[in-house]
Amino acid sequence: MSNDLRSDESVGEGLRRIVVAELDAALASLTGSPRSEQAIHDARRRIKKARAITRLVQGDVKVGAAPRHLRVAARLLAPIRDEEAIALKAEELCSREPHELSGATYRELRHVLKGRRRPRHIAERDQVVERAVRALRPVRQAVSGWHWNAIGADQLVIAIQRTYKQARSAWRQAKQHQDAERFHEWRKALTDLRYALRLVAPRAVALGSQVKALGRLEEWLGDDHDLLMLRRRVVASDAKARDRVRDRRVRVLVKVRQAHLRKKALEKGKTVFDARAKAFGKDLRRMWPAAPEGRQSP
């Protein structure tokens, strides 16, 4: 499935094509059988992509409540994705630091891997998926009727420049405050920016390295988020006295790993977001052949 704008179509037509394709694929994954965790994860990724494009164009195209519906659908599926991510992080921590973990700690980490396929869990998961499908269908029905011709190459560059500015601001906030909430917000802004740049990257070859760098940043910040979820799951507030030593060990290991990931991300962010938004927009106009040089972002 092509995620970029083609030279044989207008910008609006290309954006409509991509959003329609992503929503159709997401619905197919969620309504197909069996509903595997991989299918649900793939659907959520496509929903986030469609939402990023919808948010990108909403200043020029009247999209109504679509961003809210897409956000609802993605959030409904998030706990399912988190279960899988927590399990993977538990496995990774066990294999990464075997000499640091006692047998009891190791068993506790392994415990989070169990029970995810019990009948009750599967039934609850299916109910959540049905709710997500109900949130998606109105958006899919409305997409083709939006006035996509309201956005052209120039408007798209301005929108991408605005998205870059938001991501750059989120990076600076994360660097200043160094807390989980700011890093999570930065990660979301990075996702929007990466999806936006992928639209034009195939015809703006110089953007390829930046898209890859954004992907690495997303991966590191995603790992940071998953470790936070693992810590919250394993370290219970009502732990018995004998468990508190175990929990403290897990907390320390997770904290060390998170510190490493955040340091890497902030250092990489310094290179990715070195340019101010106006300079970035100017470079984008120069690199993307479809973008005119005339109109400038305010």
Per residue in 140-162, pLDDT (tens digit) is 999 999 999 999 999 999 999 99
Distance CA 27, CA 103 (A): 43
Q: How far is CA 152 from the centre of its chain?
A: 26
141 class by beta-carbon count within 10 Å (0-12 exposed, 13-18 middle, 19+ buried): exposed
pLDDT value of residue 243: 58
With contact defined as beta carbons under 8 Å apart, do 41 and 97 qualify? no
Q: Which of 217, 35, 200, 65 is nearest to 133 (CA)?
A: 35
Q: Which of 285, 12, 176, 100 is nearest to 297 (CA)?
A: 285
pLDDT, the chain, mean: 85
Mean pLDDT for 225-243 is 68
Distance CA 112, CA 119 (A): 17
Q: Residues 172-230: pLDDT tens digits?
A: 999 999 999 999 999 999 999 999 999 998 878 888 899 999 999 999 999 999 888 88
Helix, strand, or coil (residue 147): coil
What pTM was computed for the model?
0.85
Q: How confident is the model at residue 232 (pLDDT cuts 50, 70, 90)?
A: confident
Task: State percent of the chain over pLDDT 90.
Answer: 58
Q: In the predicted model, is pLDDT for residue 86 greater than 60?
A: yes
Mean pLDDT for 73-95 is 79
Distance CA 156, CA 293 (A): 13
pLDDT value of residue 96: 67
C-alpha to C-alpha distances, 104 to 85, 115, 242, nearest whole angstrom: 22, 19, 10
Instruction: For domain 1-85+115-150, give the CATH number.
Output: 1.20.120.660
pLDDT value of residue 163: 97
